[in-house]
């Protein structure tokens, strides 16, 4: 009977039943099957109201949406172009840094490709980068800043796993920078081979652009100094970031009108938060039921028959998470999979912070892999190209990211250098 | 009649979700100022803020229902033609309404328990917790309306409204 219900729900899910409905109804059936009252699912959901860090997610989301609507991505592109655009391949580096910077705020929800893709694609084409390279670069750059503070994916991972969010933010910085470096070096090589023309460096132009985007540059500094300096909590940093972004766009740059534009930004932010956290709410009960039914322990017993070392475990974990990343979006994957793998990772003595970064790195790569790699779909809509064309274009970047993943997995010091 | 109900529901979701998010921002900022400037704090505001997140979640999720943007793992649906997907959509939304109604029922039972056992000075928190059954009920109603009326405005790219919106955007 259980298999039948799970099978039917899975089938509905694959045909498009919203994931939170699938998880909620799965929870009802699982609790009835375990002779428990389904109200326990709601008790778990209500536990969300005791999670202080959860407040940071809607507030950072609001900050990202205000910046996106206010034209912050365009200002950043102008800034990085003035700084790096003079190099052979400089515009590609500008693309990588701008997208990473913006994704850290927007939460890799596809906003980066939508907000920056339309601006950077014509610029790359005009600068005579090959079309295939440009498409691959923009498609893969849409999820690059996922490991930088104040990434919503990191916040959600911290809440679900109970790992200190401050530690996760710190652990993501070097791996994130390493990926930017690897992709930049590759892009510079491609640009050199393609003999992409460059423009002259102008100090006065750079100064002018820096002045024009000073408020944007200061924002990450405020967050990093605030959180890592111990001056504010993550939630307080989120509120200050949202207030700063609101002030920047409505008062300083005047790109948004407080009465005309902000209500729309608020409802868009609430919708994005609702789509992510409703899954967390209903999944908490279901995953607890799965844990109570000893599912992780059974998986562990099965794995112990075949896997003896942490390295083997990590390799298998990477393969598993790449498949998960290709099938589920990052937020639902965190909510559903993290509680199940945490006990397994603990058994193989994988540091939970290291595990978090590996987990998110896998899902970052999952954004580019069919059948449901979300960046492929968004880029397909944005650039009016078939998904297969974009996948082929993104393939060199995907391979580089896989090498990066192996480095992160087998060199824990890249993640845990600060311990 | 149903269309008017749907419009009213969207308005309610927009006002509650946006208002709760704005209020959340203001309350957290108040706490920061109270702590750092006046070296004091309001524990009550913390509890209200955490409940406000639930308001943002449920009513924001209602807006997502209207926009047809709930997170899905619709691997098989992507293999279907747009016409087939359109046919499939209404029964799936109807099923979602039914399952959300079941969640509303259990959330209601949970809330009754909370209300009955809450001490008199904690009753206000129990009132705020009513957002859970109310939220699921709003979602159930919204899914039902979408199931009956379809996704004319947002998710159907071939619809006249969507075409008009796209045209307006391009001009």
Residues in chain A: 419
CB contact under 8 A, A55 and B53: yes
B85 C-beta neighbours (distance < 10 Å), count: 18
Nearest CA in chain B to A40: B110
CB contact under 8 A, A48 and B73: no
C-alpha A382: how far from chain center: 19
**Residue B154, pLDDT above cutoff 60:** no
CB contact under 8 A, B103 and A266: no
Residue B25 tokens read as 């921002």
CB contact under 8 A, A19 and B21: no
Which of A30, A9, A37, A2 shows the shortest CA–CA distance to B95? A9
**Do residues B138 and B62 make contact, with C-beta atoms less than 8 angstroms apart?**
yes
Q: Which residues contact A103 (CB under 8 A, 6 or more apart)?
A: A112, A142, A143, A144, A145, A146, A148, A151
pLDDT tens digits for range B42-56: 888 988 999 999 999
Q: Which of B170 and B89 is assigned the larger pLDDT?
A: B89
The whole-chain average pLDDT of chain B stands at: 86
Give the distance from residue B108's alpha carbon to the nearest chain A alpha carbon, in angstroms: 9
Nearest CA in chain A to B15: A267
Give the distance from residue A7's alpha carbon to the nearest chain B alpha carbon, in angstroms: 14
CB contact under 8 A, B73 and A270: no
Phi and psi at A259, nearest 5°, equal -90, -35
pLDDT in tens, chain A (419 residues): 667 888 888 899 888 899 899 999 988 988 888 888 899 899 989 987 777 788 998 999 899 889 888 888 888 888 888 888 888 888 899 889 988 888 887 765 566 787 778 778 888 887 888 899 999 999 888 888 889 988 889 999 999 999 999 999 999 999 999 999 999 999 999 888 877 777 788 888 888 888 888 898 888 888 888 888 888 888 998 999 999 999 999 999 999 999 999 999 999 999 989 988 898 888 888 877 877 777 777 777 777 788 888 888 888 888 888 888 777 778 878 888 898 888 888 888 899 999 999 999 998 888 888 766 778 877 887 787 887 888 889 999 999 999 999 999 999 999 998 88
> Could you tell me how many CB contacts below 8 A there are between chain A and chain B?
197
For residue A329, the model assigns a pLDDT of: 74
Distance between CA atoms of residues B135 and B132, nearest Å: 5
Give the distance from residue A52's alpha carbon to the nearest chain B alpha carbon, in angstroms: 7
Nearest CA in chain B to A331: B71
Place of tokens 């006065």: A204
Suggest the residue from B12, B64, B89 to mutate for an interface test with chain A (most A CBs closer than 10 A).
B64
Give the distance from residue A365's alpha carbon to the nearest chain B alpha carbon, in angstroms: 17
A127 C-beta neighbours (distance < 10 Å), count: 18
pLDDT band for position B165 (cuts 50, 70, 90): very low
**Do residues A105 and A67 make contact, with C-beta atoms less than 8 angstroms apart?**
yes
For residue B55, the model assigns a pLDDT of: 97
**Do residues A100 and A144 make contact, with C-beta atoms less than 8 angstroms apart?**
yes
DSSP state of A128: T
**Do residues B103 and B136 make contact, with C-beta atoms less than 8 angstroms apart?**
yes
Q: Which of A232 and B63 is assigned the larger pLDDT?
A: B63
**Do residues A180 and A100 make contact, with C-beta atoms less than 8 angstroms apart?**
yes
Which runs of consecutive H residues, i.e. helices, occur in A213-261?
214-228, 234-247
Tell me which long-range contacts A370-376 makes (C-beta under 8 A, separation of at least 24): A370/A326, A371/A326, A371/A327, A371/B75, A371/B78, A372/A326, A372/A327, A372/A328, A372/A329, A372/B73, A372/B74, A372/B75, A372/B78, A373/A325, A373/A326, A374/A110, A374/A329, A375/A110, A375/A113, A375/A139, A375/A140, A375/A142, A375/A143, A376/A139
Q: Which of A95 and B18 is assigned the larger pLDDT?
A: B18
For residue A108, the model assigns a pLDDT of: 59
pLDDT tens digits for range B114-131: 999 888 888 888 899 999
Suggest the residue from B28, B43, B45, B108 to mutate for an interface test with chain A (most A CBs closer than 10 A).
B28
Q: Which of A125 and B15 is assigned the larger pLDDT?
A: B15
For residue B132, the model assigns a pLDDT of: 96
For residue A107, the model assigns a pLDDT of: 67
For residue B155, the model assigns a pLDDT of: 43
Which DSSP string corresponds to A158-219?
HHHH---HHHHHHHHHHHHHHHHHHHHHHHHHHHHHTT-------HHHHHHHHHHTHHHHHH
User: What b-and-e string marks burial along B40-78, b requiring 16 or more CB atoms within 10 Å of the CB?
Assistant: eeeeebbbbbbbbbbbbbbbbbbbbbbbbbbbbbbbebb
Suggest the residue from A278, A280, A370, A371 to mutate for an interface test with chain B (most B CBs closer than 10 A).
A278
Nearest by CB: B64 against A15, A37, A271: A271
CB contact under 8 A, A16 and B72: yes
Residue B52 tokens read as 């406000």
Distance between CA atoms of residues A368 and A364, nearest Å: 8
Which residues of chain A lie closer than 8 angstroms to B9, CB-CB?
none
For residue B168, the model assigns a pLDDT of: 40
Distance between CA atoms of residues A378 and A397, nearest Å: 17
CB contact under 8 A, A45 and B22: no
Nearest by CB: B25 against A51, A242, A327: A242
Distance between CA atoms of residues B23 and A166, nearest Å: 26
For residue A47, the model assigns a pLDDT of: 84
Which residues of chain B lie closer than 8 angstroms to A25, CB-CB?
99, 102-103
Burial of A7 (0-12, 13-18, 19+ CB in 10 A): exposed
Distance between CA atoms of residues B89 and B65, nearest Å: 12
CB contact under 8 A, A271 and B89: no
For residue B171, the model assigns a pLDDT of: 33
Task: Give the rounded percent of residues in chain B with a pLDDT score beyond 70.
Answer: 88
**Residue B163, pLDDT above cutoff 50:** no
Distance between CA atoms of residues A95 and A360, nearest Å: 22
CB contact under 8 A, A18 and B70: yes
CA atoms within 13 A on the CB side of A76: 27
CB contact under 8 A, B100 and A21: yes
Place of tokens 């009920």: B137
For residue A110, the model assigns a pLDDT of: 67
For residue A109, the model assigns a pLDDT of: 56
Nearest by CB: A275 against B69, B74, B110: B69
A88 C-beta neighbours (distance < 10 Å), count: 17
How many Å is the Cα radius of gyration of chain A? 22
Give the distance from residue A203's alpha carbon to the nearest chain B alpha carbon, in angstroms: 37
Nearest CA in chain A to B92: A17
pTM of the model: 0.84
Distance between CA atoms of residues A118 and A123, nearest Å: 9
Which residues of chain B lie closer than 8 angstroms to A281, CB-CB?
54, 57
Q: Which residues contact A57 (CB under 8 A, 6 or more apart)?
A: A152, A155, A156, A159, A238, A273, A276, A277, B53
**Do residues A375 and A113 make contact, with C-beta atoms less than 8 angstroms apart?**
yes
Residue A292 tokens read as 């109570």
Which residues of chain A lie closer than 8 angstroms to B95, CB-CB?
12, 17, 21
Burial of B92 (0-12, 13-18, 19+ CB in 10 A): buried
The angle formed by the CA atoms of residues A361, A367 and A372, to the nearest 5 degrees, is: 135
Suggest the residue from B106, B126, B132, B157 to mutate for an interface test with chain A (most A CBs closer than 10 A).
B106
For residue B157, the model assigns a pLDDT of: 42
Nearest CA in chain A to B32: A236
What's the complex ipTM? 0.88
**Residue B161, pLDDT above cutoff 80:** no
Suggest the residue from B27, B41, B58, B61 to mutate for an interface test with chain A (most A CBs closer than 10 A).
B61
Give the distance from residue B59's alpha carbon to the nearest chain A alpha carbon, in angstroms: 7
A308 C-beta neighbours (distance < 10 Å), count: 11
Place of tokens 């200002």: A75
Which runs of consecutive H residues, i.e. helices, occur in A256-329?
262-292, 295-306, 310-327
CB contact under 8 A, B24 and A270: no
Peptide bond into A15 cis (omega under 30): no
């Amino acid at each position: 009977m259980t298999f039948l219900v799970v099978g039917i729900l899975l089938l509905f899910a694959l045909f498009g039943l919203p994931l939170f409905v699938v998880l909620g109804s799965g929870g009802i059936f699982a609790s009835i099957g375990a002779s428990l009252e389904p109200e326990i699912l709601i008790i778990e959901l209500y536990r969300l109201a005791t999670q202080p860090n959860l407040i940071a997610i809607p507030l950072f989301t609001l900050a990202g949406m205000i910046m996106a609507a206010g034209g912050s991505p365009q200002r950043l592109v102008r800034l990085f172009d003035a700084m790096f655009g003079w190099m052979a391949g400089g515009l590609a580096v500008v693309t990588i840094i701008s997208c990473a910077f913006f994704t850290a705020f927007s939460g890799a929800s596809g906003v980066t490709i939508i907000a920056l893709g339309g601006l950077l694609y014509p610029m790359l084409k005009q600068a005579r980068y090959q079309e295939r390279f440009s498409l691959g670069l923009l498609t893969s750059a849409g999820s690059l800043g996922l490991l930088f503070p104040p990434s919503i994916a990191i916040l959600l991972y911290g809440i679900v796993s109970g790992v200190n969010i401050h530690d996760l933010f710190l652990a993501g910085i070097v791996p994130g920078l390493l990926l930017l470096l690897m992709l930049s070096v590759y892009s510079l090589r491609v640009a050199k081979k393609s003999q992409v023309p460059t423009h002259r460096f102008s100090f006065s132009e750079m100064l002018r652009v820096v002045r024009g985007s000073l408020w944007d540059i200061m924002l990450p500094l405020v967050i990093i100094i605030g959180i890592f300096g111990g001056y504010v909590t993550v939630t307080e940093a989120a509120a200050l970031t949202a207030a700063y972004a609101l002030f920047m766009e409505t008062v300083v740059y005047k790109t948004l009108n407080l009465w005309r534009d902000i209500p729309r930004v608020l409802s868009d932010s609430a919708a994005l938060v609702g789509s992510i956290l409703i899954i967390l709410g209903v999944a908490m009960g279901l995953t607890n039921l799965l844990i109570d039914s000893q599912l992780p322990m059974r998986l562990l017993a099965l794995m112990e028959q075949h896997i003896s070392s942490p390295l083997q475990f990590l390799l298998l974990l990477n393969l598993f998470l790449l498949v998960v990343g290709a099938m589920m979006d990052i937020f639902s994957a965190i909510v559903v999979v993290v509680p199940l793998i945490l006990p397994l990772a603990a058994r193989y003595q994988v540091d939970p912070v290291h595990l978090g970064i590996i987990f998110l790195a896998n899902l970052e790569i999952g954004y580019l892999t069919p059948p449901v790699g979300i960046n492929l779909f968004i880029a397909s809509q944005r650039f009016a190209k078939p998904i297969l064309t974009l996948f082929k274009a993104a393939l060199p970047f995907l391979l580089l990211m896989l090498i990066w993943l192996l480095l992160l997995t087998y060199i824990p010091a890249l993640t845990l250098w600060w311990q | 009649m149903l269309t008017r109900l749907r419009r009213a529901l969207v308005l309610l979701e927009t006002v509650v979700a946006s208002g709760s998010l704005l209020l959340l921002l203001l309350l957290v900022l108040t706490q920061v100022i109270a702590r750092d400037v006046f070296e004091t704090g309001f524990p009550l505001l913390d509890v209200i803020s955490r409940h406000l997140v639930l308001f943002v979640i449920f009513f924001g999720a209602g807006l997502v229902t209207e926009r047809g943007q709930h997170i899905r793992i619709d691997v098989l649906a992507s293999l279907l033609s747009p016409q087939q997907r359109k046919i499939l959509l209404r029964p799936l939304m109807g099923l979602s309404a039914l399952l959300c109604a079941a969640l509303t029922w259990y959330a209601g039972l949970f809330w009754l328990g909370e209300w009955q056992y809450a001490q008199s000075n904690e009753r206000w928190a129990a009132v705020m917790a009513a957002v859970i059954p109310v939220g699921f009920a709003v979602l159930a109603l919204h899914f039902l309306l979408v199931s009956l009326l379809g996704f004319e405005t947002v998710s159907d790219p071939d619809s006249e409204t969507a075409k008009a919106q796209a045209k307006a955007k391009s001009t």
